[in-house]
Structure 1
């Protein structure tokens, strides 16, 4: 009997084949070398995001060991991308790539100016790192499947409008998400009483916990001061409320 994740991976492959999807994005469950998703022998492109001390009881107790397991998804002749990594992790990725003849490139964080007047749909400064990797992977897929000209032919910028729009619309519930209490009206939120706001995120490694904490610290400090004259007096009563995304 297969493990739960292997069963889900097998079920996903069956659904993808049955529905004849144009493209499937497979996220590794744990590690890479022995992961259920690694049965795909000829992917179009591979990517490795930020590495940290995660699942150490299985992947190893050093970044080099962990990176070596992650690099198990590399396939000979298949382009691969990663983001800036700690030196120990990057060294392991490069060694594995060189050993099997993989062109490993480091994707730079997405420049905010490329989005022009738009913002990333996923909040947090770290998402610009992920966005840069996503753009590199998507561009490579388009190039290798013969679709790149259709995307870039009408684009005068270095980031196609379709990419910018997709990054702005990206949404993942529970990840750096701000949720005001739906039972409190906007009028109540602007009152002196204030409103109940939930800040939702998740993490399960020291590195991701630090990123989560930085995001919460940043958004919780974003306050606007609203001062109302005190009737019959010379003092002001200043009320602060948490800043909220315009989509809520």
Structure 2
């Protein structure tokens, strides 16, 4: 299993005065799988936004994403995301696609410090974002000591042909508590446009308590429950990610 936690992708801001709304919650560390080894990751997010504003996928409901990935080298991995959303009202709709290229320090599993860069190209409808096309540049900083791990993703999103770039970092701290179990805290932030940051109340801050389990050599499970810290955040959100290595 190439990483323990996934969790951040953001919908883009509809106006410079407010921050974006999260659709998925992913934090990326500095590891990739063995070259040539396919991966299938199934993401399930359930949330209640608690707001009247449009934006986010879905505002109140569930998001299911299929991720198919493969490492082409010890330092590179490519992955395709195919999301589908369903509102609590029963309205279901597709979320286009996201294509990720991840470049990392080789042998990160044995290093106290690893870094990398995640480049994501997406094409999604207005139900997910205010710009059909977008690019996210997501640096990866991965620090480990003993049973502890700290991961920082200071991501910047570029909606193509629309608003300016958006600063949406994520932070994860995790501790191994058993041979095959970890617990952690994750903080997802969205400060809005870099050229016009949102005021404090308009920023999105989501805090998650997470746990990870290895169910075998090729299967892992990630669970999390989160609560918003500002009015612009989701009121409640949950996530389940099943990792399968082939």
* Fold conserved between structures, TM > 0.5: no
Q: TM-score, normalised by structure 2?
A: 0.25
Q: Which structure ranks higher in relative contact order (CA pairs < 8 Å, sequence separation ≥ 6)?
A: 2
TM-score by length of 1: 0.25
**Which structure has the larger Rg?**
1
